[in-house]
Amino acid sequence: MKATYNVEAYTSSGRPVLRFKVENTSGAYIELTNWGARWIAAAMPDADGVTANVLMGYKELSDYLNDTYYMGATVGRFANRIANASFTIDGESYHLENNDGENTNHGGYSGFHNKIWQWENLPDGIRFRLFSPDGEGGYPGNVCVIADYRLNEVNEVSIRHCAVTDRATYINITNHAYFNLSGTGKKITEHCLQIPADRILDTTSGFIPTGEKVKVAGTPFDFTFPKPIGKDLYADHRQLAWNKGYNHCYILKEEASSEMVQAASLYESVSGRRLTVQTDLPGVLLYTAGYYEQPDTAVCLETQFYPDTPSHTDFPSCLLQPGTVYEHHTVFGFGIMNLNNK
């Protein structure tokens, strides 16, 4: 395994922004940057052995400094939204940055995606480290965070997030990679997706969970069997209209645990590429990039705790206490489709 890096940009304060490349012996590789601990490229072979990047992003590393789409970013302290940009812990209220109307989204303006992370080499990847001080973004607790990216010889990309705190606080970290297995950036409507979850979280038009868990059977949200993303993407449904496509949390587990489960499988028939996602997290957020400048040209599969968890006592809790460790793991496995399915 070979890891290299180059300085390609600088922040406004003069801190270097690096591009890391981690390559295995087959020639497949991933690229990362210390700006937001982002995953910015994944060059994977197609059925003919031709390697192409299957992540949407920017050509120039400096463009990530002004990114508003969280391209490939490590998102935190809390992935997705918290209603009214506030929560209560042990009777004390905390007010967060309301960067999404009256709500907060993806950690607010002070989120992890807008930080320079420290880094170190791993034998098969890169470890990023970040210190988030007490009160940053309105969140309590001095928090130390690790994001590990590893690439193995069978083209699996492993992402591990860890965090510790000195005060009780909510932590919900995800990676926001934009996948397009064609390697050409064409619309993902013909990508075939399967998510083995029979329910999603119902939301308001402001993308806040109502608390209701809705069965997907008989609706455009049913991906329990492999289905082209475009089949129901433009269906007449208020949830699809509000979200400009899919932007919904699928329920993988009712409780937090270390058990790895399959979150999704994605196929692209022209290239023959396949992506499988396994995680120990309780939910996966399916987002078809309706708000991206090139809508429907990528799909995000964000493994995470449910959105707005602090407001719902029946959701799996992601309240991190001092003396405990937030540690969760997701594996993105790239391969080739079975020819019988092509």
Tell me the catalytic residues.
176, 302
Residue 70's alpha-carbon distances to 135, 238, 249, in angstroms, are: 22, 25, 17
- The residues pairing with 53 across neighbouring beta strands, listed in sequence order, are 43
Tokens of 141: 């607790």
Phi, then psi, of 161 in degrees rounded to 5: -115, 130
Tokens of 250: 């699928």
Tokens of 294: 């090139």
For residue 49, which of 265, 259, 233, 273 has the smallest C-alpha distance? 273
Residue 66's alpha-carbon distances to 19, 63, 155, 184, 215, in angstroms, are: 16, 6, 30, 24, 38
Sequence-separated contacts (24+) of 106-109 with Cβ below 8 Å: 106/70, 106/75, 106/76, 106/78, 106/79, 106/80, 106/176, 107/75, 107/76, 107/77, 107/78, 107/79, 107/137, 108/137, 108/138, 109/137
Phi, then psi, of 115 in degrees rounded to 5: -125, 150
- Looking up tokens 């400048």 gives 293
At 155, which amino acid appears? Answer: N
Question: Using CA atoms, how far apart are residues 268 and 309, in angstroms rounded to an integer?
Answer: 33
List the Cα angle 50/53/56 in 5-degree steps: 150
The residues, ordered by sequence, that sit 6+ positions from 266 with a Cβ below 8 Å of its Cβ are 179, 181, 191, 192, 193, 194, 274, 275, 276, 277, 299, 301
Question: Using CA atoms, how far apart are residues 173 and 120, in angstroms rounded to an integer?
Answer: 20
Question: Using CA atoms, how far apart are residues 280 and 297, in angstroms rounded to an integer?
Answer: 27
